[in-house]
Amino acid sequence: MLDIRELREHPADMEARLKTRDPSIDLAPLFELDDTRRKLISEVEELKAEKNRGSQEVAARKKARQSAEDLFGRLSEISTRTSRLDEALRGVERDIEDLVGRLPNVPHSSVPVGGKDDKIVLRTFGSRREPAFAVRHHLEIGEEKGLLDFRRAAAIAGAKFPMYVGRGALLEMALIQFMIFHHARRGYTPIFPPFVANAESFFVSSQLPKFADDVYAIEKDGLYLNPTAESILVNLHRGEILTAEELPKKYVAYTPCFRREAGSYGEGERGLIRVHQFNKVELFKFTAPETSYAEQDALIEDAESVLQALGMHYRVALLTTEDMAQQASKTVDLEVYLPGQGRYYEVSSCSNCEAFQARRGNIRYRPSPKEKPAFVHTLNGSGLATSRLMAAILENNQAEDGTIEVPAALRPLVGFDTL
């Protein structure tokens, strides 16, 4: 959430920067509501001051054994008027909160202006595999080898829900275990959190109110299925004041993730590319503002280290203003190459959200014992999402005879070298 005071201090500049994310953004209605809010607050304060003076006059007359009957009518009128204004003020504040809650974060100055297809490739790692034989799509070879079963999964839950079978299930679980222990050794505290959260948690993470239609809701209990462990982890220190010595706090968590992913999908999104349920290991940091971008660079390196350990070719891309999630101020994606489709797919988005989420969740730290608390910065990144990683293994590690080589780092966990 943005600070409306900062928006008002530099309205033209802030609106211009926000328009690079969404050209339809117009701050005028927000400022009009804020003007109304300020006017209502002023009126309420004046009425309360008048009521206080009247009450003091009543007390003085009673002490002097004088009648105060002439004041009671006005004091009653003030109370009624104050109640109505307080109700109106609460309504205006709800409208302001809704408008501000839908605004995206202000992009960092290093983020290029552009649309979803304008990302900038910063670097690549390893060589892109282009074998002499035709690499088969991961869905086809996965089902042929009995590693994936989308047909039975659809009968159980519906389309776009995957099911891993046999060695496919073992490999999926090995990926999760390998990544959790890998990041724990790099200084992240492991978390095995709830897979559901309440509305307040989803507001802090920025899933609500803007993306209410995109998440799975358990209406009877007022809970939501987790779309990413970021939604859970950002709430670990909600309402707390941390010390400077505690920062950065680094967490790693595994959760299944549930997303509606509404709409039709093209040929390139068959199989594990875009599904309603997938597994993910998530990295999350709470940092001091002055170190958050250095910590983002370190977060990216931590996510990359998994791909390097698995021997994957990938590229690192800086997203443009229109391509970032609402809460992000700067996002860098890691994308693996799938030779069966001849294109790159994102397996991790590493974002610095600055104080956007911390302001929603009132997550602060005290820079020093004598200083006032300030909002922390929050960072998140997949470390990694397994579905597309599984697709990358099945497509990149194929031999001409159809054999699939298991990455060396996973072999001790699964007990076999090939699929």
> Is 128 among the catalytic positions?
no
pLDDT tens figures, 153-209: 999 999 999 999 999 999 999 999 999 999 999 999 999 999 999 999 999 999 998
Residue type, 314: Y
Taking the C-alpha atoms of residue 18 and residue 267, their distance in angstroms, rounded to an integer, is 34
Tokens of 125: 């790692």
Taking the C-alpha atoms of residue 404 and residue 419, their distance in angstroms, rounded to an integer, is 5
> Is 346 among the catalytic positions?
yes
Taking the C-alpha atoms of residue 319 and residue 223, their distance in angstroms, rounded to an integer, is 31
Describe the chain by its helix, strand, coil percentages, rounded to 5. 45, 20, 35
Q: Sheet holding 223-225: strands in order across?
A: 196-198, 223-225, 217-218
> Is 274 among the catalytic positions?
yes
pLDDT tens figures, 26-73: 999 999 999 999 999 999 999 999 999 999 998 998 888 888 888 898
Question: How long a stretch of residues is the chain?
Answer: 419
pLDDT tens figures, 86-96: 999 999 999 99
List 274, 315, 359, 364, catalytic entry: 274
- Closest C-alpha among 340, 345, 336 to residue 273: 345
List 57, 93, 269, 346, catalytic entry: 346
Residue 419 pLDDT = 96
Contact 394, 138 (CB under 8 A): yes
pLDDT tens figures, 110-165: 999 999 899 999 999 999 988 999 999 999 999 999 999 999 999 999 999 999 99
pLDDT tens figures, 216-229: 999 999 999 999 99
Percentage of the chain surpassing pLDDT 70?
98
Spans of all domains in the chain:
4-102, 120-414
Q: What's the predicted TM-score (pTM) here?
A: 0.93
Instruction: Identify the burial level of 129 via C-beta atoms within 10 angstroms of its C-beta, where 0-12 means exposed, 13-18 middle and 19 or more buried.
Output: middle
Residue 265 pLDDT = 60
List 17, 21, 315, 388, catalytic entry: 388
Give 120-414's CATH code, choosing from 3.20.20.150, 3.30.70.1150, 3.30.930.10, 3.40.50.1460: 3.30.930.10
pLDDT tens figures, 297-332: 999 999 999 999 999 999 999 999 999 999 999 999
Taking the C-alpha atoms of residue 309 and residue 179, their distance in angstroms, rounded to an integer, is 10
> Is 260 among the catalytic positions?
no
3-state secondary structure 65-95: CCCCHHHHHHHHHHHHHHHHHHHHHHHHHHH
List 349, 351, 382, 387, catalytic entry: 349
Contact 229, 251 (CB under 8 A): no
Instruction: Return the CATH superfamily for domain 4-102.
Output: Serine-tRNA synthetase, tRNA binding domain (1.10.287.40)
